[in-house]
């Protein structure tokens, strides 16, 4: 049986490095996705994820509620991602890259470019959600967790998770002008 986050935190605090590795494995995709949703490129998102886990490891002793590890970790991810985004924007302003236009893509790259633009549009819309909604959407649709599993991982009531999913999906539906899938947040 898989150990809970709280059990892994306790083991990591007792010196079990494999326990912290299990926490990293369990949460890596969500942390990476949260960074991508801030508009960071893959390499930048990887750097953010690495920094998040380093900060979490160093600060693990300060976590007062081990059962709230996921919520605490995603909060760290939000702060590190915001810091990285500010650094990136400052560098772009200082280098004058904001004023430069990108060259037109060759004809054979139009499909790839269109897919990239759609990806950017999705990531921008996700980035406009508040942190709590972005986390539950990411956990639901990237990790494939049920609302019950998300609630357990975040240490929050299932109704709260379902409400956040509903509001996030409603926002995304409006942003893209699409009809929500029949599966919705209930599945």
pLDDT value of residue 97: 55
Question: d(Cα 162, Cα 150) in Å, to the nearest integer?
Answer: 9
Q: Are 40 and 85 in contact (CB under 8 A)?
A: yes
Question: d(Cα 59, Cα 184) in Å, to the nearest integer?
Answer: 36
pLDDT value of residue 114: 56
pLDDT value of residue 106: 53
pLDDT value of residue 28: 93
Q: Which ranges of the chain have pLDDT less than 50? A: 99-102, 104-105, 107-108, 180, 182, 184-187
Listed by start position, the domains of the chain span 1-100, 107-187
Instruction: Name, in order, each residue with C-beta under 8 angstroms of 49's C-beta and a sequence gap of 6 or more.
Output: 28, 31, 32, 35, 77
Q: Among candidates 67, 69, 80, which has minimal Cα distance to 32? A: 80
pLDDT value of residue 86: 85
- What is the third-level CATH fold of 107-187? Arc Repressor Mutant, subunit A (1.10.10)
Please report, to the nearest 10 degrees, the dihedral formed by the alpha carbons of residues 75, 58, 27, 32 taken in order.
Answer: 70
pLDDT value of residue 48: 92
The interaxial angle of helices 131-141 and 110-127, nearest 10 deg, is 130
Which CATH entry fits the domain spanning 1-100: 3.30.2130.10, 3.40.50.1110, 1.10.1740.10, 2.40.50.100? 1.10.1740.10
């Amino acid at each position: 049986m898989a150990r809970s986050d709280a059990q892994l935190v306790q083991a990591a605090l007792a010196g079990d490095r494999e326990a912290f590795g299990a926490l990293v494995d369990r949460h890596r995709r969500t942390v990476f996705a949260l960074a991508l949703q801030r508009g960071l490129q893959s390499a930048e998102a990887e750097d953010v994820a690495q920094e998040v886990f380093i900060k979490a490891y160093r600060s693990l002793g300060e976590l007062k509620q081990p059962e709230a590890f996921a919520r605490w970790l995603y909060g760290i991810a939000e702060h590190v991602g915001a810091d990285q985004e500010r650094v990136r924007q400052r560098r772009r302003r200082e280098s004058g890259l904001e004023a430069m236009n990108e060259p037109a893509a060759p004809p054979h790259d139009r499909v790839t470019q269109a897919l990239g633009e759609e990806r950017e549009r999705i990531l921008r819309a996700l980035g406009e959600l508040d942190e709590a909604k972005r986390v539950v959407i990411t956990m639901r649709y990237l990790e494939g967790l049920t609302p019950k599993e998300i609630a357990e991982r975040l240490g929050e009531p299932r109704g709260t998770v379902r409400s956040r999913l509903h509001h996030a999906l409603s926002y995304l539906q409006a942003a893209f002008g699409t009809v929500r899938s029949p599966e919705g947040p209930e599945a």
